[in-house]
């Protein structure tokens, strides 16, 4: 492994190259019977796409028990998705329950946020997040990005951001790097 390995903070793949440090996402429903490899890193959460049907069986105490294990690095992927055919209030309720677990365990959250950034911005402004937040698949404009800098928020980009929108990616990265060494944004998550 190189001195500075590639870090993939969110993958669903079982196949992780040896030179990559990865946090493999395991869905909450699967985690109850999953055979964890204690030499790997994981995140666990109830994704907003899978809340329907699971909301009756979701147990924050079980999530806490699973996530308390030292190889579970984060709670996630959790969040809101306005394009999902699931009531947004139900998504919000499940999200808040999972966020409470993250706060209790002091573990970061990986947030799925599709067309729902307006729900999260007040939480950042009010410092409601007591743990680091990684906005997964981040794709907001520079103004919103600027408002989140130094709010314990990190950004995870999908390949489409860098390859399909290279000008936007270049602009955001230049803005990040202008923050200088020591700032939160000088270590963006990719």
Whether 63 is in a domain gets the answer yes
Whether 151 is in a domain gets the answer no
Position 70 scores a pLDDT of 95
Position 45 scores a pLDDT of 96
Position 88 scores a pLDDT of 95
Whether 54 is in a domain gets the answer yes
Whether 134 is in a domain gets the answer no
Between 144 and 61, the higher pLDDT residue? 61
For the cut 50, the answer to whether the pLDDT of residue 51 exceeds it is: yes
Whether 72 is in a domain gets the answer yes
Q: How far is CA 16 from the centre of its chain?
A: 19
Give the list of residues 6+ apart from residue 65 with CB closer than 8 angstroms, or none. Answer: none
Report pTM: 0.81
Encode pLDDT of 7-46 as tens digits: 788 888 888 887 788 899 999 989 989 999 998 999 999 9
Position 12 scores a pLDDT of 82
Whether 135 is in a domain gets the answer no
Burial category of 94 from C-beta neighbours within 10 Å (exposed 0-12, middle 13-18, buried 19 and up): buried
Position 106 scores a pLDDT of 97
Residue 189 CA to residue 58 CA, distance in Å, equals: 29
Encode pLDDT of 124-179 as tens digits: 888 889 999 999 888 888 788 888 877 888 888 765 544 445 555 556 555 555 54
Range of the domain at 50: 6-111
N- to C-terminal Cα separation, the chain: 19
- The single residue listed with the structure tokens 């666990």 is 44
CATH number for the domain that contains residue 17: 3.20.20.140
Q: Where are the beta strands (DSSP E) in the chain?
A: 6-11, 20-27, 41-45, 72-81, 109-114, 133-136, 153-155
For the cut 70, the answer to whether the pLDDT of residue 102 exceeds it is: yes
Position 184 scores a pLDDT of 42
Position 159 scores a pLDDT of 56
Encode pLDDT of 6-17 as tens digits: 778 888 888 888
Q: What is the mean pLDDT of residues 169-190?
A: 48
Whether 181 is in a domain gets the answer no
Whether 80 is in a domain gets the answer yes
Bridge partners, 154 (sequence order): 134
Number of domains in the chain: 1
């Amino acid at each position: 492994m190189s001195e500075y390995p590639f870090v993939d903070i969110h993958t669903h793949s079982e196949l992780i190259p040896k030179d990559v440090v990865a946090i493999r996402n395991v869905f909450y429903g699967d985690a109850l019977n999953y055979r964890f490899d204690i030499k790997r890193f994981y995140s666990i959460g109830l994704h907003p796409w899978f809340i329907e049907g699971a909301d009756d069986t979701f147990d924050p105490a079980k999530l806490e028990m699973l996530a308390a294990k030292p190889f579970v690095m984060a709670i996630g992927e959790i969040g809101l998705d306005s394009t999902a055919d699931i009531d947004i209030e139900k998504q919000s309720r499940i999200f808040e329950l999972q966020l409470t677990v993250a706060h209790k365990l002091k573990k970061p959250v990986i947030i799925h946020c599709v067309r729902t950034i307006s729900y999260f911005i007040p939480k950042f402004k009010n410092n409601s997040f007591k743990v680091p937040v990684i906005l997964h698949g981040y794709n907001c404009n520079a103004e919103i990005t600027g408002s989140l800098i130094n709010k314990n928020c990190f950004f995870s980009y999908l390949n489409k951001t860098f390859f399909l929108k290279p000008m936007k990616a270049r602009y955001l990265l230049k803005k990040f790097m202008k923050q200088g060494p020591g700032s939160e944004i000088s270590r963006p998550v990719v």
